[in-house]
Amino acid sequence: MPQLLIDALVLGSIYLLFSLGMSISWGTIGILNFAHGGLFMFSAFVGSRVVSTLEIGLVLVCLIALVVGALLSVAIDTFAFQPILRRAKNHRTAELQILIGGIGIGIVPVAIVQYYTKSEPFGFAGSTYTTQVYTFFGLRITSTGMIVIGCAFLLTALVAFWLKRTSHGLSLRAIGVDSETAELMGVNRRQLSFLTMAVAGGLAGLAGALLTYNLGAITAESGETLLIKAFAIIILGGVGSTIGAATAAMILAVSETLVLRFTSGGWVDAVCFGIILAVLLIRPQGIFGRKEVRRV
């Protein structure tokens, strides 16, 4: 059982890095970016292309994936989401259009990678980094798993500090409650949207690189598979809550690990849908969510 919990902690850390960006962008600037999975996967793919020509280690690969994810996220926001927000009749219409637009945009990087890889898995075979295996009191954990856990909790703490203790974070939280009043008080919504999408995309890119190192390889469809997990985590933890995202990611990872251990793997996705349904029925705002959130 302790070994299962360690495996779940590594899996939950990947889920946390992936879902945290989606949670903060939805909870503050009101953008639920369903292209997030495409950013996650494509950032790792760019890293694999670089590794195929240059011998570089984990740190540089992760940095490349992080930058690619941030730049792509900002580009999507600038050329797709912001024009939708400006032209939509109201925020509810804008949210629906952004949701549909994100799904369409997310298909593009998947198609590109499928074409270049012929739908085969890709990884960082040329990287100078090699995974080490450590054993503590009979429990096994890899160096990659330790890095994944460390990055997840360090970045979650930094994001929580940014949202709670900095002026930008306070402004973002104000936008999440009432964007019109926040703008009247001098908050630059466009600038904060740019920053938030960059952070969200960077977290997705980093998660993509770390998952690829952890598994050895991923496919063009890997990001799409994680979207439903991220949605379950956001609903369970509460939209925009960093503590909620961390808690929900671990709950989901432990649940899935136990399901895989004691039943057939076919029940894993049912766990995600079951958690979403249960939370929507019992506590719609999530574990750490506010009872009512206005996003205008």
pTM, two decimals, is 0.90
Report d(CA 152, CA 18) in Å as an integer: 9
* Cβ-Cβ contacts under 8 Å for 266 (sequence gap 6 or more): none
Tokens of 116: 């270049």
* Cβ-Cβ contacts under 8 Å for 123 (sequence gap 6 or more): 48, 212, 215, 216, 217, 218
Tokens of 111: 């198609």
Residue with tokens 């994100």: 102
Tens-place pLDDT, residues 192-227:
899 999 999 999 999 999 999 999 999 999 998 899
Q: With 50 as the cut, is the pLDDT of residue 86 above it?
A: yes
Average pLDDT of the chain to the nearest whole number: 88
Over residues 19-45, the mean pLDDT reads: 93
Rg value, the chain, Cα: 19
Q: Nearest Cα to 4, choosing from 272, 255, 269, 213? A: 255
Q: Nearest Cα to 169, choosing from 186, 146, 192, 153? A: 192
Tens-place pLDDT, residues 115-148:
999 999 999 988 999 999 999 888 899 999 999 9
Angle ∠(114,118,122) on CA atoms, nearest 5:
80
Tokens of 90: 């109201």
